[in-house]
Structure 1
């Protein structure tokens, strides 16, 4: 898939070209290459676009550079486009971030949200399935024999860590459900499919679950919250190895600083953080995702 197929959204910063009577001028931001940002498509496309456009506008005004939001069709596309150098900054989940970093030498971990070092998944069930809330991982055996759906196949919170916790409970996801598990493609879709009864059980990102409940878009007469998992590291921003070559020496550091400076001190920053469900952005490092990589290798999702 080419970036053109993604129908990019361009956010441009207007700049003033200053010229002297007898000499040259100062180049405006349109003379610089465009910073291309993206994110894994893990939720409702309209909300995802609004969130990424908000970040694009902030980065444009802060760094004086044009910023292009490039939507992608699936998780794998975000990794392959990043590896090919067609994306500069991507908001990844834990697993896709590990995959992208291993496949792209020189990629840089720039930041994570304050909620990402202690992230969780939530298991849900259709009310007619007769599954009650459980208190620990061992209780996940309640899903044995059910029609069950994960989110995307490459989702950390919608597949990787849930499959790990199901294994800790003694369930083999290849044989202990009623048929093969489904893959809804996004956290929002998982809620909708379980609510409709298409699947008796499912699992998703706890942030999306809480946001949907707060918005009143989950019928709690039809969906039961069964279990919230132990914590793990998840989402983060990854910068490509070619950023400085394209946008100038030191631009990667400037980009990282711009992300970490997001603290909600202006209305624009407050809007970005609200859309990301964060209070602030904080530093992170590769070691924070060692557990994700280890589990990914165990499940055959990292090679």
Structure 2
């Protein structure tokens, strides 16, 4: 009888060990890390500074660890989201379109800043002779990244509408890689003019990081839709809703919300949809960049 009880106990202990072992991978799987990236349209230190409070905020809202994962270039941000290496990406309008095309429509734009409904680019110069787009003929002109909406695609689109073909009409076309680098290239005289995101320009002016006596805006584009926060369509709907709610509830009325919104250069976040970026897609196809 005792031998039978002993056997039973051993069998139960074995079952318990097997059950614990079987559950271990599941428990580990539940301890997920939510990864976020952004197009590198500014210096790595600036991107990290802007991201830190937002990551902390999302961590509290999602109830899981949130990590900012920087990428080397715009194309890498697209591939990271399309291949689900990250869960959330800050895209420009053009990178969103590229991700949508690359994924076969499997990405969803969740929210955008209120400012992104009517975003603009500026053309700047340090050459007093340049007063209009037509004056760029025969000059060295810098864009940002080739995949940048506000630093390349839309400025190029408005140049084409004005009858200027950068490759034919400019002496040299340069790509700085980022908006702040475009300002530096113009200020140092490496190029006579450059095109960039209006919010980065305004931030540089406000922080007195550029001498506006030497470098001036000579053309501001018409408005267009731009940046957004995008997720993969395979993300569970409940998680998508939590994320959207987190962004939409940010308010300058709270210290936390004020800090995050100011770093993101936003008055508030609003819902967005893929249809908002049809104009960007049309401009990209027209400029033969897609």
Q: Work out whether residues 143 and 177 of structure 1, in 8 Å CA contact, stay in contact via their aligned partners in 2.
A: yes
Structure 2 partner of 1:264: 252
Q: Which residue of 1 aligns with 2:129?
A: 130
Aligned-residue offset at 1:45: 1.8
- Corresponding residue for residue 11 of structure 2: none
Aligned counterpart in structure 2 of residue 170 of structure 1, from 154, 163, 176? 163
TM-score normalised by structure 2 residue count: 0.87
- The answer for the alignment partner of 2:96 in structure 1 is 97
Contact 2:37 2:77 in 1 (8 A): yes
Could you say which residue in structure 1 is the equivalent of 2:197?
A: 205
How big is the shift at 1:30? 9.6
**Counterpart for residue 149 of structure 2:** 156
User: Structure 1 or 2: larger helix share?
Assistant: 2
Measured against aligned partners, the alpha-carbon deviations of 1:87-143 in whole angstroms (never above 9, x if no partner) come to 11001000001111222243221100010000000000113x5213xxxxxx41111
> CA deviation digits over 1:151-197, x for unaligned, max 9?
00000000000001111111111110013x00000000000000000
Superposed CA deviations along residues 262-301 of structure 1, whole A, max 9, x for unmatched, are 1223211111101011111001111111100011111222
Distance 1:106 1:32 in 2: 25
Map 1:1-303; keep pairs closer than 5 Å. Answer: 31-104=30-103, 105-127=105-127, 130-132=129-131, 139-179=132-172, 181-244=173-236, 250-302=238-290
Using the alignment, how far apart are the partners of 1:258 and 1:224 within structure 2? 38
Length-normalised TM-score, structure 1: 0.83
Residue ranges of structure 2 left out of the alignment (5+ in a row): 1-25
What CA distance in whole angstroms lies between the structure 1 residues aligned with 2:79 and 2:231? 14
Contact 2:42 2:179 in 1 (8 A): yes
**Inter-partner Cα distance in structure 2 for 1:111 and 1:186:** 23
2:108·2:274 contact (CA, 8 Å) conserved in 1? no
Question: Which of these two proteins has the greater Rg computed from alpha carbons?
Answer: 2
Give, in angstroms, the shift of residue 209 of structure 1.
0.2
Root-mean-square deviation (CA, aligned residues, Å) is: 1.8
Distance 1:210 1:126 in 2: 17
Q: Counterpart of 1:15?
A: none
Alignment gaps of 5+ in structure 1: 1-26, 133-138
Q: Once the 2 structures are TM-superposed, how far is the Cα of residue 28 of structure 1 from its aligned partner?
A: 10
- Number of matched residues? 264
Give, in angstroms, the shift of residue 44 of structure 1.
2.2
Closer/same/farther in 2, CA of residues 191 and 241 from structure 1, 3 Å limit: same
